[in-house]
Structure 1
Amino acid sequence: MAASISGIYYQVIRGMAASISGEFLQLSNGNFNYTMREPLGVVGGIGAWNYPFQMATWKSSPALACGNTFVFKPSPFTPLTAVMLGEIYKEAGLPDGCYNVIQGEGETGALLGNHPDVNKMTFTGSVPTGTKVMEACAKGIKHVGLELGGKSPCIIFNDSNLDNAVSGAMMANFFTQGQGASVLCGGERVVPDASLSGGYYMSPCILVNCEDHMTVVKDEIFGSVMSVLGFDTEKEVISRANDTEFGLAAGVFTNDLKRAHRVASELEAGSLYINNYNVYPVGVPFGGYKKSGLGRENGPEALDLFTQVKSVYVEMGDVEAPF
C-alpha cells in the first residue's frame, strides 16, 4: 500500500515541479522586477517509524524535484525501507550523492541538524524531539519543517447520518490500530509463528464519560483508544475542541452544509474533514497548527518549503545618483 501511494505521489510531484516559476512585476520608466525560485542546497530529513517508506518519499521527492540534495535518517526501528528507496533512485538514474541515508539514534539526528552544510531540516516525530530540531535550526539560522503530534477531535452533530459518523469515528481512531502503521509482505499482512499470531496488543478501547482534563483526552495516545465526550452547543464544542496545544486535524459530521463550513472555519487545525476522516489525497498539503508543526508536506506548498526566492531588479535607463 505504501509503495503504491508513493508511486502516485511521484507522479503528482513531477507534474507540480514542472510548474515551479517566479513572478514578474512591471515598474515605472520601463524598469521591471522578476523573481526566481532556487534550491536551498543540502536538505536533511528525519522520519518516524509509522510510515517509513512514505515519509522517505514525501520528504525526498519534493526536495530533489526542486534541485536539492537530500540526506535522510530513518527511524532506527524501521531502517531498511529508506535504503530500498535509495536503490530505486539509483536504478532510475539519480546521480550518486543526491539521495543519501544515514542510520542511528538521536545523536545521529543531532549531528545532521547541526551540520553547517545542511541548509534545511524536515522532521516528523514527537513534539519534544521536534523542539530540539527547531532549536538546532535556530542556532544555525536554517529553514525547518516540522510534522509533530496531534490530538484531533471528531465532532458529531445530532443532525448527521449516524451510521456514516460512526464509520468516520472508527476510521479516525482505529485505522491501523490508531498508529498509522502496518506490516505487509507480498501484499499480505505478515503473520508470525502460529504461537505468536495473537500478538501483544491491546484490544480497541472506547472510553465513555470522559472529561476534558483527562490525560486520555488531552494527550496523544497513539493507540486504538477512543475517548467519547458529550456537548450541548456548537459554540461550546468549538471552544473545547480548540483547547489543546495541538492542531493537526479535525472532523465534523453534520447534514447542515452551512454549519459544516462554519465549524470548519473556526476549528484550529491544518486538515479539516467534513463527513469523513483520515483522507489524505497525495496532492493535498498536510501539516498542523500550533505544536503540531510548521510548514506543509505534499501539495504545491511542499515545493515552496524546498526553495528560496531571489528577487532580480532590472534598470532600463540611466542610474540617477546625487553624487
Structure 2
Amino acid sequence: MVAHLRESYGLPVFDFPGPEDDGRTPLPEADTVAWRVSCDTYDSEESWPEAFARFTAAVDPGRVRALVVGAWPDAYDSGPEPVITALLDARSGLTALRALFLGDMESEECEISWINQDDVTPLLDGFPELEEFGVRGGTGLAFPAVTHGRLRSLTVQTGGMPAAAVRGVAESDLPALEHLDLWLGTDNYGGDCTVDDVAPILDGSRLPSLRHLALRNSDIQDGIAAALASAPVVARLEVLDLSMGVLTDEGATALLGGQPLTHLKRLDLHHNYLGEPLRRRLRETLESAGVALDLDPGHADEDEWDGRVWRYVAVGE
C-alpha cells in the first residue's frame, strides 16, 4: 500500500483545509511546511484549480517552498491537465518553490495504477528552479527527454511505468541530479520497459552527480541486477536500491559476482525472493565491509498455480 507523503524538501506535509473548514484551522507560516492541496476524488465540491485558488488566497505563494498535489476529482478517469495548467499559470508568484510532487493519493482515493497522468515535463520546463520533483501514477504518463539544470531529486512511483517514459528519463539532461527513484512496475499494469531502456542510466555517461539510484518495484529485477553487475554508474553510487521487486537468487548472484559493491553506504533489497544461503553470503560480503544492507523479505509471497510459480512486485494495482 502506498501512503501519503509525510515530508517534502525536508519539511513536514500539511494538508490545506477543504472548503468546509471556512478558515477555522490555523495555518502555519508559508515557508515552514510542504503544502498538500487536494480534492475529494469522488463527488468533489470543487475542482483542483478552485482548491488551489483558495490556497493562494490564504497563503503567501511567494514563500511556499514545497507543494504536494494530492487527489483531483475523478483521478481514475481524468488526468492532471487542469492541475498542470493552474500551476503554470501561477508560476510567476511561486518564486520560492523548490519541490513539487504530483499525484499524492492513497489507495482509498485512487489505486496507483488507476491514477491518470499526462506529460509532466511542462512542470519542469515551467519551474527551472525546482530541486525536487515527483509523480505518482503510470496510466497515460509521458516523460519526453528534458533538460533541467537545478533538479537534484526525481521520483516516479508507478505500478507500471511505460517504456517510453523510462527512456525519456534515461535520455534527459539532468546534470545536478543526485537522487533517481523509478518504480518500474509490472507489465500487468503497463510496465513494459526492458533493461535496454535504462541502459543510458547504467552506462555512466549521463547524470554525473548521481549518488542514489533506485530501480525498483520491478518484475524484471533479476535482469536489472545482472546489468548493474558491470554497469559503470555503480562505481560512483552511495546508495543502490533494488527493493520491492521480483529479485531472486539468480539476479542477486549476478550482482554479487560482478564489480565490488563494498564502496556503497547502503544496498536496499527489501521485498525479495532470496534463499537463506544467498542472504548469508550477502551479509558476509557486504555487512563486514560496512555496507548497510536491507534484506527484509517483507510480504514477498509466492503462489504456485498450474505448474508455475508466481511472484509479485510490492506495488501493482
TM-score, structure 2 normalization:
0.26
* Structure with bigger gyration radius: 1
Which protein has the bigger helix share?
1
